[in-house]
Structure 1
């Protein structure tokens, strides 16, 4: 499934931390924000799903930082405070998207627990959003610059292991 040459992403929900590993070496570590509703796999729960996943799609390569996405498509807008003021309450998906697909049938793949169908992403968010604390609607939020760095270091197929604590 994974060899020592492949990077692995670990997401620790308790620590609100994402680690990029090559073998046993941690080559990058970032603060993230996962679901304010905590861990959970059911559709509609607004929880972050646990278990093994893979990056199914990488979206946004080559777009400028703060590019706005709706439905996984760039809108052509760039996030600004003025745009935010004109769109209150919008859940901003910015810069890049790493769309996750569950690998564990019955846990995060298939039926009402399917991470891909739940549109679970690692994505960028406005700078004012808190990192290091659970505040999202189920996805994993990151600072835009850090997400763009991570995006360039991983591939479609990279394993993402999400747990309550490592």
Structure 2
């Protein structure tokens, strides 16, 4: 799937490329920022419990973590009172760290990324922070879109609930305008 980078309405949107492992934010009036991400180790896919990153048209359904310090640890979308550190990581080696901010996605395509067995929202697919020790640009997540903590905070501060998010399997054509 691909979407034109031109934005005549001036509305913001996010495009995540699984092939490039990049997240592009387009604001109104030609604003554009890009950050490296880490998507699912299991690749693209929509099935419940697959550990895959879902593709297609989504929107930002909820945003969690406003004003929390960088590195805040979340479990079940609630801050634990902890701040990530290498020592905390050694104490909980099996934790899938969700840090700093949570941008919770909801699919828009019935039967593909919305509805029974494939629902991105019910699968808890987030854009979220991860320890800076985790590599970006390489698929390593359990289905979510991981970002550096500073990057996810910068993105979070620009978004509003309802922002369109496209997760595409391939690179956008290079001849598109911003």
Range class of TM-score, shorter chain: over 0.9
Asked whether the equivalents of residues 67 and 79 of structure 1 are also in contact (C-alpha less than 8 Å), the reply is yes
Alignment partner, residue 109 of structure 1: 114
Query: Which residue of the other structure, out of 165, 175, 178, is the alignment partner of 1:160?
Result: 165
Asked whether the equivalents of residues 23 and 36 of structure 2 are also in contact (C-alpha less than 8 Å), the reply is yes
Where is the strand percentage greater, Structure 1 or Structure 2?
A: 1
Q: What is the deviation of 1:21?
A: 1.2
Query: Which residue of the other structure, out of 22, 41, 44, is the alignment partner of 2:49?
Result: 44
Alignment partner, residue 176 of structure 2: none
Query: Which residue of the other structure, out of 138, 142, 146, is the alignment partner of 1:137?
Result: 142
Q: What is the deviation of 1:24?
A: 8.1
TM-score normalised by length of structure 2: 0.90
Alignment partner, residue 35 of structure 1: 40
**1:124 aligned onto 2:124:** no
Q: Give CA-to-partner distance per residue, 1:69-117, whole Å, 9 cap, x none.
A: 0001000100011100100111000000000000010010000000000
**1:62 aligned onto 2:49:** no
- Secondary structure at the counterpart of residue 157 of structure 2: helix
Structure 2 gap segments, 5+ residues each = 1-6, 173-178
Asked whether the equivalents of residues 73 and 82 of structure 2 are also in contact (C-alpha less than 8 Å), the reply is yes
- Secondary structure at the counterpart of residue 61 of structure 1: coil
Identify if the C-alpha distance between structure 1 residues 14 and 26 changes in structure 2 by more than 3 Å, giving closer, same or farther: farther
Once residues 58 and 144 of structure 2 are traced to their aligned partners in structure 1, the CA distance between those partners, rounded to angstroms, is 13
CA RMSD of aligned residues (A): 1.4
Alignment partner, residue 78 of structure 1: 83
Q: What is the deviation of 1:23?
A: 5.5
Once residues 6 and 135 of structure 1 are traced to their aligned partners in structure 2, the CA distance between those partners, rounded to angstroms, is 31
Once residues 24 and 155 of structure 1 are traced to their aligned partners in structure 2, the CA distance between those partners, rounded to angstroms, is 17
Identify if the C-alpha distance between structure 1 residues 42 and 80 changes in structure 2 by more than 3 Å, giving closer, same or farther: same
TM-score normalised by length of structure 1: 0.96
- Secondary structure at the counterpart of residue 81 of structure 2: strand
